[in-house]
């Protein structure tokens, strides 16, 4: 029985193993535990411990780092944007701070976690949390002392910048030390917030009540509160709606004068993060599902804040939002301006040599048209109305004209060249649906099928 149980537990993911062990330890009173539960608990401990024991020191150190920063995980952002926002830590800053900690501040605290055969990582959940809290308190106390001592010396600021990895990393280090001193209050605030905050739902009203109550007692926590609300919101717009509710007005000047003013800054910082993710998806990952998702998210966030807030009374926020719209537009502009050229290259319409494989070119053309259509749908949130309209009109004309030319190529060519022409004709049908809709694409499909049925041998058609 025990061997079968261990075999089953080993088939679970490490996260599921840890979750099961925590649940058993939290719910089981050692004095009252029954035989069957004890059997499962012992097996779970053995499996989890074997996983911890099999880790390299580097693996244990990575696990320790994750646990160390767990209390501030809700405030960490992965996006490497230009502007820093108080209340949000850059992931790159966390990496630099951790590197400095383990190298210069707490190397003596690591062996029981990393090198010992009886690693503290294996302790029961509650005891491990106590040990980790003790280590975290000691580490951040030492860090605060180190930073203060170095900063007091000549050129200390520049030395800290070098040790931690930049100005932002130093600022985030200061915030981490500050947050640690407020952590108990911040954790309590997070517990009072709904796990999921949805627009117009009771959860949003509950979040606003919690925010109002906390800001009355601890106005200095406003950015941490805003970041926590944003992390739990189904739609980021809830953060702006709550700011408007707390201010009692949709006028930007009134919001800026209220306790919730920083909610707007955190929201706009998230818009900046969306622009960063869009750029990465477009240029690095080449994943249109990510591109589409981030562009739509940007569109929703811009529309939401424009609907919720009257910016006539505040030049600073209006300018920042305008700059973000321009930034997104400048990323999209060059990607859509070449749409017609990419379509022409994909079908190689300039000549009759269609014997070359243009599958990648066809993918690029489809990508460009998809982005053009999506940008046109989101034009209210962008600053490319003229370019989008002009390019869309040119693309419509190109698809109409080139579709006929490609069909003519299908009629004339044979062999591999004809295969390429057929693939190009298929592309034009797909692009027709993107630009003109399914009804027009159906007409193009029927024309394509007629040409193919008359051109190819009967055996190839069926």
Instruction: Count Cα neighbours of 139 within 13 Å in the Cβ-side half-sphere.
Output: 26
On whether the CB atoms of residues 72 and 223 are closer than 8 A, the answer is no
The predicted model gives 238-259 an average pLDDT of 97
Strand partners, 89: 76
Q: Tens digit of pLDDT for each residue in 269-308? A: 999 999 999 999 999 877 889 999 999 999 999 999 999 9
On whether the CB atoms of residues 164 and 170 are closer than 8 A, the answer is yes
Tokens of 33: 């535990």
> Is residue 457's pLDDT more than 70?
no
Determine the Cα–Cα distance for residues 35 and 306; give it in Å rounded to an integer.
62
| Domain residue ranges of the chain, discontinuous segments joined by + | 2-183, 195-337, 364-462
Q: Tens digit of pLDDT for each residue in 307-344? A: 999 999 899 999 999 999 999 999 999 999 999 999 99
Cα separations (Å) of 128 from 9, 50, 216, 225, 268? 21, 17, 35, 28, 38
Q: Tens digit of pLDDT for each residue in 191-240? A: 999 999 999 999 999 999 999 999 999 999 999 999 999 999 999 999 99
pLDDT band at 14; cut points 50, 70, 90: low
90-124 core/surface letters (b: 16 or more CB in 10 A; e: else): bebbbebbbebbbeebbeebbeebbeeeebbbbee
- pLDDT for the residue 29: 59
Backbone angles phi and psi of 251, in degrees to 5: -75, 130
On whether the CB atoms of residues 428 and 405 are closer than 8 A, the answer is no
> Is residue 459's pLDDT more than 70?
no
- pLDDT for the residue 61: 94
3 state DSSP class of 457: coil
Nearest 5 degrees, angle CA 203-CA 74-CA 14?
Answer: 105
Tokens of 459: 């055996």
Neighbours of 421 (CB within 10 A): 26
Among the listed residues 286, 428, 317, 423, the one whose alpha carbon sits nearest the alpha carbon of residue 369: 428
pLDDT band at 414; cut points 50, 70, 90: confident
- pLDDT for the residue 31: 58
Helices (H), 182-314: 183-192, 202-217, 222-232, 237-247, 252-256, 261-280, 288-308
> Is residue 46's pLDDT more than 60?
yes
Percentage of the chain beyond pLDDT 90 is 72
pLDDT band at 350; cut points 50, 70, 90: very low
Tokens of 400: 């109409």
Q: Tens digit of pLDDT for each residue in 174-186? A: 999 999 999 999 9
- pLDDT for the residue 260: 97
Tell me the Ramachandran region of residue 353: left when phi exceeds 0, alpha when psi lies from -120 to 50, beta otherwise. beta
pLDDT band at 403; cut points 50, 70, 90: very high
Mean pLDDT rounded to a whole number for the chain:
90
Give this prediction's pTM. 0.84
Q: Tens digit of pLDDT for each residue in 255-267? A: 999 999 999 999 9
On whether the CB atoms of residues 121 and 62 are closer than 8 A, the answer is no
- pLDDT for the residue 10: 66
pLDDT band at 127; cut points 50, 70, 90: very high
Instruction: Count Cα neighbours of 199 within 13 Å in the Cβ-side half-sphere.
Output: 12
> Is residue 462's pLDDT more than 50?
no
């Amino acid at each position: 029985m025990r061997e079968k149980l261990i075999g089953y537990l080993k088939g679970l993911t490490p996260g599921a193993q840890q979750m099961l062990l925590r649940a058993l330890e939290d719910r089981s009173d050692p004095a009252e535990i029954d035989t069957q539960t004890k059997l499962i608990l012992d097996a779970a401990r053995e499996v989890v411990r074997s996983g911890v024991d099999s880790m390299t020191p580097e693996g244990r150190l990575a696990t320790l780092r994750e646990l160390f920063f767990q209390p501030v995980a809700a405030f960490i952002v992965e996006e490497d944007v230009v502007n820093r926002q108080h209340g949000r830590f850059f992931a790159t800053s966390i990496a630099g701070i951790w590197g400095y900690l383990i190298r210069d501040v707490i190397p003596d605290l690591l062996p029981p976690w990393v090198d010992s055969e009886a690693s503290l990582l294996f302790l029961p959940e509650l005891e491990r949390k106590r040990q980790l809290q003790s280590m975290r308190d000691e580490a951040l106390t030492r860090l605060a002392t180190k930073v203060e001592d170095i900063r007091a010396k000549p050129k200390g600021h520049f030395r800290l910048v070098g040790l931690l990895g930049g100005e932002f990393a130093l600022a985030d280090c200061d915030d981490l030390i500050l947050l640690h001193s407020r952590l108990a209050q911040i954790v309590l605030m997070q517990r009072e917030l709904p796990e999921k905050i949805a627009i117009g739902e009771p959860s949003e009203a509950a979040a606003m009540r919690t925010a109002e109550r906390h800001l009355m007692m601890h106005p200095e926590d406003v950015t941490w509160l805003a970041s926590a609300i944003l992390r739990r919101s189904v739609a980021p717009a809830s953060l702006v709606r709550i700011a408007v509710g707390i201010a009692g007005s949709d006028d930007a000047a009134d919001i800026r004068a209220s306790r919730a003013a920083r909610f707007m800054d955190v929201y706009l910082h998230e818009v900046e993060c969306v622009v960063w993710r869009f750029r990465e998806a477009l240029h690095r990952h080449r994943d249109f599902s990510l591109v589409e998702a981030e562009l739509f998210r940007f569109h929703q966030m811009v529309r939401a804040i424009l609907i919720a807030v009257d910016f006539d009374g505040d030049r600073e926020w209006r300018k920042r939002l305008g700059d973000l719209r321009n930034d997104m537009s400048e990323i999209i502009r060059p990607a859509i301006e070449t749409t017609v050229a990419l379509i022409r290259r994909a079908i190689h319409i300039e000549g009759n040599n269609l014997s070359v494989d243009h599958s990648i070119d066809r993918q690029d053309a489809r990508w460009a048209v998809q982005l053009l259509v999506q940008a046109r749908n989101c034009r209210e949130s962008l600053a490319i109305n003229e370019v989008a309209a002009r390019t869309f009109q040119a693309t419509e004309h190109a698809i109409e004209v080139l579709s006929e030319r490609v069909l003519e190529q299908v009629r004339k060519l044979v062999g591999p060249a004809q295969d390429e022409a057929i693939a190009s004709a298929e592309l034009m049908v797909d692009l027709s649906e993107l630009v003109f809709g399914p009804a027009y694409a159906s007409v193009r499909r029927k024309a394509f099928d007629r040409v193919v049925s008359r051109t190819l041998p009967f055996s190839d058609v069926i």
